[in-house]
Amino acid sequence: MPRPPDPHGRRGLALLLRPRDPESDPARPLAQALARRLGADLARRLGLKIAFAPCEAGAADEAEEPALGRGLHGRYVAGGRAAELGLSQAAIYDLVEALFGGDGSSPPYREARDPSQLETLVCEALAHDLAEPLSEAFAVDGLAFDGFETNAPAPVEETMSIALRMRVNGRESGLRIRAPAVWRRASAGAPRRVGPRRTLAEALAVIDTPLRVVLRERGRPLADVADLREGQILPLAATARSPAILEAGGAPLFYCALGQNEGRYTVQIERLIDAGAAPAFDARDPQ
């Protein structure tokens, strides 16, 4: 007689193990409260369809999605202690896409690499605002963002780990919070406010993003490069009619035309660079 399917979806040796009761996890009530606070705060602040939920037991490691890249690990400090918020690479892609107007209608962007400079700058602006809902969830005064790392820092005291699934514009990804275990007890108290709110637009407005104009490149034989000397004049492939590429934070954004105004070089934005294709100068462009 065939065995009826296990209601928990377990197979093999897992059938011999007692299933873990999600409600027995001491950090689960805190995870649920944190998910609600993050979802409500970011939905209101960003105007996005965004929600969070605790990962089920046994699926917590999926929140980090290491196959895509290292992601970002934000450090938050308060009272001599530190917490870490790890954003998976997929979460970074989904947040940046949504913040720049994506509605989820196109296929999700999933490339195995580390965060770009522009993605890091956008997430940094967002990370400062995440300090408030995190502070409220843990009931810890003065929690402040202290910077990003690309590798998870080693814990220096007993910690608790909370893995959350994030859903924005119909896409799912994950994040993980590691915080001092003593904050679990503090979170049983009343939530606290940590200062005035600011909108994401205000946070993004103060980011100093480097802009760079890239002219048509011209290859040179390696022997010529080895003979380069101070004072030498090199002819460029670009002319006054040649197109240029405008980059922000290392990310190509627009094709532009060169110009001049009151003795200064200028660029006029002409067309957007397709996000799905690598930017390149057309062979038909003016030399």
DSSP code per residue over 191-254: ----S----HHHHHHT----EEEEPPP----HHHHHT--TT-----S--TT-EEEEEETTEEEE
Q: Report the alpha-carbon distance of residue 84 to residue 101 in Å, rounded.
A: 28
**Which segment of 33-47, 52-66, 92-106 scores lowest on mean pLDDT?**
52-66
Within the chain, all domains assigned CATH 3.40.1550.10 are found at: 22-205
pLDDT tens for residues 212-264?
888 876 677 888 888 888 888 877 777 777 788 888 877 788 888 888 888 88
Q: What is the percent of the chain with per-residue pLDDT over 90, rounded to a whole number?
A: 9
- In which order are the strands placed within the sheet that holds 159-168? 50-54, 159-168, 171-180, 81-87, 72-78, 144-149
Closest to 242 in 3D by CA, of 262, 218, 278, 223: 218
Report the b/e string of 20-53 with b at 16+ CB within 10 A.
Answer: eeeeebebeebbbbbbebbbebbeebbebebbbe
| Cα 167 to Cα 98: distance, rounded to the nearest angstrom | 11
* Residue 3: how many other CB atoms lie within 10 Å: 6
Residue 25 confidence (pLDDT) above 60: yes
Give the confidence band of 210 by pLDDT, cuts at 50, 70, 90.
confident
Tell which CATH classification among 3.40.50.300, 3.30.1220.10, 1.10.287.3510, 3.40.1550.10 matches the domain 22-205: 3.40.1550.10
Q: What does the alpha-carbon distance between residue 168 and residue 183 come to, in Å, rounded to a whole number?
A: 28
Range with lowest mean pLDDT among 12-16, 144-148, 159-163, 244-248: 12-16
Of 62, 54, 1, 2, nearest in space to 29 by CA: 54
Split at pLDDT 50, 70, 90, the class of 6 is: low
Q: Average pLDDT of 92-100?
A: 88
Closest CA to 279 of 247, 233, 240, 241: 247
Lowest mean pLDDT among 54-63, 164-173, 238-247: 54-63
- State yes or no: pLDDT of 276 exceeds 70: no
Q: Residue 285: is its pLDDT beyond 60?
A: no
Q: What is the pLDDT of residue 128?
A: 86
- Mean residue pLDDT of the chain comes to 76
Q: Residue 77 is which amino acid?
A: V
Pairing of strands 81-87, 251-261: unpaired
Nearest to 110 by CA among 121, 96, 124: 96
At 115-134, the pLDDT tens digits run 888 888 888 888 888 888 88
Q: Report whether 81 contacts 180 (CB < 8 A).
A: yes
Does position 284 have pLDDT exceeding 60, yes or no? no
Binning the chain into helix, strand and coil, the percentages to the nearest 5 are 30, 25, 45
pLDDT of 76 over the 90 cut: yes
Quick one: average pLDDT of 61-84? 77
In the structure, what pLDDT confidence band is assigned to residue 191 with cuts at 50, 70 and 90?
very low
Say how far apart CA 41 and CA 111 lie, in whole Å.
Answer: 29
Q: How far is CA 97 from CA 67, 179, 205, in A?
A: 20, 28, 17
Is 128 or 151 the better-scoring residue by pLDDT?
Answer: 128
Residue 187 region, left (φ>0) first, then alpha (ψ -120 to 50), else beta? alpha
The two tokens of residue 69 are 């890249």
Look up tokens 């979460």; give the residue: 91
Angle at 83 between CA 80 and CA 84, to 5 degrees: 145
